[in-house]
């Protein structure tokens, strides 16, 4: 039996294996949910993953990649290319408010602050789904035409201040090489879609994310004698409004939308003192790398010139976080029929762009990648009003997990079967 299987050959067996493993995927998810770990601290979670992959007889299991990441290599019994699947493992500094028996009561330090810890973005689901895929594919390995690489990634939500981590660091440490990956797939659960549905876009799907910090320096004085100093609060208020004209007046929103938000405005200690300095912080989101550069320039110029007009000075620091998540058009076109076959054509839809960001974007800069959303709001709830990802009330309908296992396993096998030399 040397003839390789066609893509369809695996559908029935994957469906059976996904059915069989569903209770264990749910159990893993509950265990990980109850024991969430913050970015770069996923010690327990990655040990669980590494043990599972070793028990399945993986050819290679690399631990401590980018601090707490795990890379597993499963070689099939037939020659062929290499495909990668990625799951993120980190939780968020959020105190859980969901009423489930396995709710998190964990607390930890995040950037020096005590906080609750919760899988409020559903990365517990992603990790358990990929553990399930690993078992399904390990059971089929003799028939697999190529190699599947499993990437369990830490710190998707960014590492703590002062640390490196996440997808970029895993790539720097060689997770896409040796053997070299030809394509990568990943998914994200989302409350804005119902369980059973899948959403995707070709090209830009999620935003770039950069943050900025501004220090506006005036001259401290008595609040009843403002003419004796320079008021950084009034100047900073004008800067906030000036920044709002970037998207509304200066960007071509017919090309792509973008966002500039000021989320922090700190200054002053007493009602009758005009302070020396105000600190502003904010975020910039774009769907186009050229617009990203334009906005950086506008933020810098508007801030400095408004400060100067008011007799103050301003320092601007912009930190680049994540690139635009861009689904490779050819790979997207290739992936959609597979998703439709597994999930049902009516359940696979092109969806709106999302202004959140993903460091899956770094994998997609290195190799063709396809990232898709999987609904996790149960039928009895309205996805339009369900608590969003990152909310303390974010809820994952566990019935979505099986679809995650089936879609990732099938995408991997279809890709290998259709990309042989
Ligand atoms: Zn998130
Ligand atoms: Zn996430």
In the reported structure, the alpha carbon of residue 166 is separated from the centroid of ligand 2 by a whole-number distance in angstroms of: 12
In the reported structure, the alpha carbon of residue 121 is separated from the centroid of ligand 1 by a whole-number distance in angstroms of: 5
CA trace torsion 95, 377, 389, 294 (10° rounding) = -170
Q: Nearest bound ligand to CA 186?
A: 2
Q: Which residue has the tokens 């974007």?
A: 361
Each residue's pLDDT tens digit, 396-417: 999 999 999 999 999 999 999 9
In the reported structure, the alpha carbon of residue 353 is separated from the centroid of ligand 1 by a whole-number distance in angstroms of: 15
- Nearest one of 41, 35, 45 to 127, comparing CA atoms: 45
Each residue's pLDDT tens digit, 58-85: 999 999 999 999 999 999 999 999 999 9
In the reported structure, the alpha carbon of residue 110 is separated from the centroid of ligand 2 by a whole-number distance in angstroms of: 17
Give the span between the Cα atoms of 145 and 302, in whole angstroms. Answer: 56
In the reported structure, the alpha carbon of residue 92 is separated from the centroid of ligand 2 by a whole-number distance in angstroms of: 9
Give the span between the Cα atoms of 309 and 303, in whole angstroms. Answer: 10
**What average pLDDT does range 159-178 have in this prediction?**
97
- Nearest one of 62, 59, 66 to 82, comparing CA atoms: 59
Cα 212 from chain centre:
20
Q: Is the pLDDT of residue 2 over 80?
A: no
At 1, the pLDDT band (50, 70, 90 cuts) reads: very low
Q: Nearest bound ligand to CA 390?
A: 1
Q: Is the pLDDT of residue 3 over 70?
A: no
Each residue's pLDDT tens digit, 34-61: 999 999 999 999 999 999 999 999 999 9
In the reported structure, the alpha carbon of residue 90 is separated from the centroid of ligand 1 by a whole-number distance in angstroms of: 9
Residues identified as active-site: 322, 398
In the reported structure, the alpha carbon of residue 208 is separated from the centroid of ligand 1 by a whole-number distance in angstroms of: 14
Each residue's pLDDT tens digit, 298-340: 999 999 999 999 999 999 999 999 999 999 999 999 999 999 9
Each residue's pLDDT tens digit, 92-103: 999 999 999 999
Q: Which residues contact 78 (CB under 8 A, 6 or more apart)?
A: 2, 4, 143, 144, 145, 146
Q: What number of other Cβ atoms are within 10 A of residue 57's Cβ?
A: 9
Q: Nearest bound ligand to CA 389?
A: 1
Q: Nearest bound ligand to CA 391?
A: 1
Q: Which residues contact 143 (CB under 8 A, 6 or more apart)?
A: 4, 5, 9, 10, 76, 77, 78
């Amino acid at each position: 039996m040397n003839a390789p299987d066609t893509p369809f050959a695996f559908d029935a067996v994957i469906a059976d294996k996904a059915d069989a493993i569903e209770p264990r995927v749910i159990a893993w998810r509950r265990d990980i949910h109850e024991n969430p770990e913050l970015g770069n601290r996923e010690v327990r979670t990655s040990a669980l993953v590494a043990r599972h992959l070793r028990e399945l007889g993986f050819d290679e299991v690399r631990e401590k990649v980018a601090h707490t990441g795990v890379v597993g290599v499963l070689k099939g019994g037939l020659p062929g290319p290499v495909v990668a699947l990625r799951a993120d493992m980190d939780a968020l500094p959020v105190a859980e408010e969901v009423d489930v028996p396995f709710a998190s009561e964990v607390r930890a330090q995040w950037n020096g602050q005590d906080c609750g810890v919760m899988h409020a973005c559903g990365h517990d689901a992603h990790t358990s789904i990929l553990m399930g895929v690993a078992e399904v594919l390990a059971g089929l390995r003799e028939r697999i035409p190529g190699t599947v690489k499993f990437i369990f990634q830490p710190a998707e939500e960014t590492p703590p201040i002062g640390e490196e981590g996440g997808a970029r660091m895993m790539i720097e440490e060689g997770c896409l090489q040796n053997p070299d990956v030809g394509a990568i797939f990943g998914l994200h659960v989302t409350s804005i879609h119902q369980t059973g549905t899948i959403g995707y876009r070709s090209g830009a799907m999620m935003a770039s994310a950069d943050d900025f910090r501004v220090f506006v320096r005036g001259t401290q004085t008595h609040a009843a004698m403002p003419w004796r100093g320079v008021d950084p609060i009034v100047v900073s208020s004008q800067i906030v409004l000036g920044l709002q004209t970037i998207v509304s007046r200066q960007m071509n929103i017919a090309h792509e939308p973008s966002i500039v938000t000021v989320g922090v405005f700190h200054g002053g200690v007493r009602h009758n003192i005009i302070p020396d300095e105000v600190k502003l912080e904010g975020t910039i989101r774009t769907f186009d790398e050229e617009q990203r550069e334009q906005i950086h320039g506008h933020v810098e110029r508007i801030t400095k010139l408004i400060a100067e007009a008011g007799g103050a000075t301003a320092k601007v620091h912009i930190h680049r976080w994540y690139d635009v998540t861009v689904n490779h058009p050819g790979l997207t076109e290739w992936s959609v029929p597979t998703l439709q076959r597994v999930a049902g054509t009516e359940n696979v839809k092109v969806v709106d762009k999302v202004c959140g960001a993903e460091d899956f974007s770094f994998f997609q800069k290195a190799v063709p990648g396809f990232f898709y959303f999987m609904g996790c709001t149960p039928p009895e709830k309205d996805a339009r009003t369900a608590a969003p990802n990152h909310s303390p009330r974010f809820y994952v309908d566990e019935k979505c997990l099986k679809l995650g296992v089936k879609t990732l396993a099938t995408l991997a096998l279809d890709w290998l079967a259709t990309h042989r030399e």
